[in-house]
Chain A
Amino acid sequence: MRLEVEIASKTFKSAAGEQHDVISGVAFALNAGEVGVLVGPSGCGKSTMLRIIAGLDPDFQGRVSRPAGARIGFVFQEPRLLPWRSVEENVRLAAPLADEPKLSALFEILELKAHRNHFPGELSLGLARRVALARAFAVEPELLILDEPLASLDTALASRLRDEIAMLVDGRPVITLLVTHDVDDAVRLGDRVILLSPRPARVLADLPIRMPRGARGEVEIAAIKSEIMRRIDSCPTRQDGS
């Protein structure tokens, strides 16, 4: 099982009729059990790339090969829950095959047990993001795509959710693709960090992290991080955000 991405170019036509290059040459491959992290400045075309990889946007030059018939779990940047369905129904609709013990376990891990019957409008953003995570994991995806799942959450919650994602990903052989502009998240979660240039996006560096996630202590993380930051600074790129 392997995900291969080769996007030669992707252009948008604006309402005024002008052509905008969003992606100009992005290629990488991920194996099952691997977490690839796309890091790049915001607005560099990461979300567009994810939509192409998930098969939502067929209008591009290049090739994406997903495992045949792969189930996809997608955590969008916004939670994208159905506001008129309860938390549990939202998860069950995406994952009709998930059984009760499995859902209970997921709700337990993501601390959603008390919110099963709430409507999304009654949840905080942090909770809604967790429901979106629960939904993506409940389908037992072969390809898991996470688009800045931790953005705009406070540090404590973000770090807890990050640990939960790591735990869920380690439990199954899934190809995971995570987008972030936070290098810290990238280093803590990724097996491979793919650095992207500003728009139009291209790959600046493809850096594997050989040490397993669980074995990385704060010292190692800091070391890898400074290595990545050095790479970023050596490129003509400005990192925004944290």
Chain B
Amino acid sequence: MLLVKYGLILLIFKLFPLCCNGDRIKHRMYIDINASTSCFRRLNATHQVGCSSKRAGATGVAHFCEVENDLTFILKNGNAGPYIPILPVSLWSKKILQTLEKSSKVSGLLLYMNNETLVSFSHDLQCPNENYGVENTCSKTDDLKWNSGGTGILFENIRFPVFYIDKHDDIKTVRDCFNKFNNYSYDTQRDRSLCSVQLNSFMFGAKNTPTCIRRSNIATNLNPVRVCDPLGDKNVWASLFPLATYDEKTDKIKPILGQKYIVVAARTDTASFFDRTSGADSPITGLVTLLAVAKLLKQMLPKNENYNTNVLFILFNGETFDYIGSQRVLYDMQNGNFPIETQNGTAEIFPVIKPSDISLFIELSQLSRGDGRVFAHLYKVDSKNTNFTERLRTNMAASISLQKSEGTLPPSSVQTFLKKYENLSTIILTNHLRAFSNKFYNSIFDNSTNINYEYLNIGPSSIQQHLSDVANTISKSIFEEITGQTYTAQNQKVSELVDELLHCYLENPNCKIFQAVGKQPQQQQNRPFNLYVGVDGNTNKATTLLGFVLGWFVGDIVGESNENCTNISKNYAFRFYNMSVSMNDLNNTMCFRMVMNFTEAVSPAFIIKDYDWSSNLYSSWSESTWGEINMRLFLKPSTSHESMTMAVGCLSLLFSSILVYFIKSRSHILFTPESIQPSPVDC
């Protein structure tokens, strides 16, 4: 009996998934567009920027535009509003935004990808991060606007949601729907059902960061709701030579004190108006050059032969949003917590590195080839950076001309340091003298086309060759700076490495280098990594891999690859990983020892107790949380149809009430009961 019972239950459960795929009416009414990304809300100490829909989502009649006139037409003649215009992303400009903001007929905006060649497309400010850098390094009036094409839309508070679709199928679906229902006789649009769009991206955070942090901390029930998170990720640092000596006999770690450091820095993050980034020129060119420099220097200087200068590679994260990463590194340095957290600033494992220990700060900014010139920006000219610039000039490949620019300071991590330590010797290497040569700064169009990158196509004037030349120049100059000797050996060939790194970041994250450091081939998405800084507590996979790649380049092979490599050592001065020997020999792994680590890249504003938000000392950006972001198409019923339904319903209600009341009150006349004998009742 029991067997039969369980047999039946089993049968039902087995059969259940085969049938009953609850096909609701809803599924026939809506088309979900899954591959859409949305603009979301960020907050700083005083403002909210970005977009949010209403809690139930924004709905509007779709209007597909090819050119700007289509938009003007519907804003003027549309009578079935509110509308959600569907614009090609190339039209997205400040002017369009103002038009849409002013119009009462617009409840949302949908942008779609088109392959138009654009002159400029950048939504960052004309003076990026102006308020948190050194004063008077950017002015809006004369020609010293760094991002001259910047619209600043990224930092606008937009009253309606904005979505972006880039899949051809999705764009076609939307266009077909519009053509079928909406795209004829606009005068009678009111009287018929129309293809409409619902954009749902309600943001929980509002007003500004202090407010939303306070709201997040109110415990009204057992399940507190976070309405915003600080922006943040991790910085990556690595040193060329070990920072500590390790005595195997006594098992003691002794920090190497009293050294000077040459800092080679770059930023690792970008941003865009949507939750999707490209970032080829900024930050990938600088980042890849830094990695190539690390690789070259390790080959040139495999061991520290009593040099009193070390090289520190630092990759700052969150620089797009008021220099989050560099501010935190500087804050940690000032408090004796760099490179690792210490008790009262005493060195135990690593030396405590202070800003005064930095002898030279070299930042690699946007370095795409452009017209083949590289500019060295020296803000405060002193002997150190002048000498180094001379070294660069001598070592530079013939195809590249190096130009010195004194007194200029482009937006860079250096600004954070110069703001506090104005005598720091700094050099910023970049491809522009005044305004950025990159017209797509912090936008989705800063892609491989923007830097003329083609995988496996390393010509003499290719970006790969250019970056590897620049990397060679820098590393030779640093070699000379450290050793005091001239580097005489041949140039190392790193263009293939650069090629592969660019491929990793711009095209395919399943590339050879990421596989080499990632212990085993990883299942990753095919879309390139998103280099937006993200929120604190949620480390971007790209950052972790970046740390491993940097560590791989500066690391030493210490033995066979096995479990003992990562497990046994309790030596905290190093990190140990099993990694492939080279990117062309992935299966041959060895045990690597490296001095590389991550530090928090969260603005000090969020860790200082009772921080005064109005002081504007540190970046205060946070990102609102949201429930869900989705988009769907549907058919909006016409008003006349709705009224008709309502009228029929009300008539039914009215007539039935009268009729039922009539029959009820007249029932003794209407119905003559048949006389039946009452059944004998038991009393």
A, B from the same assembly = no
Q: Which residues of B contact A (CB under 8 A)?
A: none
Q: Which residues of A contact B (CB under 8 A)?
A: none
